[in-house]
Amino acid sequence: MLKQVADGVLVHESEFIQSNSVVVQGRAGVLLIDPGITRNEMVDLANDLRELGQPVVAGFSTHPDWDHVLWHASFGVVPRYGTARNAGSMRELLSSPDWQARVAEVLPPEYAEEIPMDLLGFITGLPAEATQIPWDGPEVRVIEHQAHATGHAALLIKERGVLIAGDMLSDILMPFLDLEAANPIEDYLDALHKLEGVADTVTVVIPGHGSVGGAQQLRARIEQDRAYVQVLRDGGVPEDFRVGPAAPLEWLPDVHQWQLQQLAQR
């Protein structure tokens, strides 16, 4: 089911950790961002768009993690953009003969059968200096930053006051650092600073997973995520409900502990 969150911006929420797919209405059709998780969800979304008379004219993937690079044939054959780094990362994955097995290892077992892999990762890289998605609709600014995953990008639709945050600024997930990067903590803090820099223009924040929030939520989430990362940097224990005894996802405190161990071993 599509829910309107701003003028010409709709969200479809998946059962799998509240993954949000975003639809932005343009002049001749829609831009579809992080299209979804399961085959049925994507087919339903394609049907909803068809009923609205709104074909998909372009896609965008916020970052090269499996849950953000899926696609279904019913959306049609259109350019699926991402940053140059995102596309590079996907090219590298797909060039490996055992890529399907590697992806299968990290899929949630309860959904694995329902996740279509055949169109995974065909991302068209935007030129490295690109600041916008090339499409016929409201201007969508690409805010690339190094946090969570290589080539991660948030999108700002200024005229609609919407920030699409990718896997940043979630109310249910704590920051997942890019532990393959040289400076994951500094990168994350820089990325939050970058998002804070556009916060004045935002009235709706859409995270890759979790609830859509307003302007106050945006500020609160930036503060909350910054506090978490700073505590990690300083070797303390975060007072963060997302990884405490009342965590909204019961497996999350374990991931937090794992993240701590990984950082300690660097």
Residue whose entry in the numeric block shows the structure tokens 């201007």: 139
Extract the tokens encoding 63.
Answer: 């970052």
Residues 148-177 that bind Zn ion (CB under 5 A): 167
User: What end-to-end distance do the CA atoms of the chain give, in Å?
Assistant: 44
Distance in Å, CB of 96 to Zn ion, minimum: 21
Examine residue 67 and tell whether it contacts Zn ion (CB under 5 A): yes
Distance in Å, CB of 150 to Zn ion, minimum: 14
Close Cβ partners of 25 (under 8 Å, ≥ 6 residues apart): 8, 9, 10, 54, 137
Distance in Å, CB of 187 to Zn ion, minimum: 17
Window 197-216: contact mask with Zn ion (x via CB under 5 A): -----------x--------
What is the Cα–Cα distance from 196 to 27, expressed in whole angstroms?
30
Distance in Å, CB of 63 to Zn ion, minimum: 8
Examine residue 121 and tell whether it contacts Zn ion (CB under 5 A): no
User: Three-state SS for 110?
Assistant: coil
Q: By C-beta, is 138 or 210 nearer to Zn ion?
A: 210
Q: By C-beta, is 167 or 225 nearer to Zn ion?
A: 167
Distance in Å, CB of 123 to Zn ion, minimum: 15
Q: By C-beta, is 151 or 208 nearer to Zn ion?
A: 208
- Across 211-235, b (16+ Cβ under 10 Å) vs e yields ebbebebbeebbebbbebbeebeee
Q: Is 256 left (phi over 0), alpha (psi -120 to 50) or beta?
A: alpha
Examine residue 238 and tell whether it contacts Zn ion (CB under 5 A): no
> Which parts of this chain interact with Zn ion (CB under 5 A)?
67, 167, 208
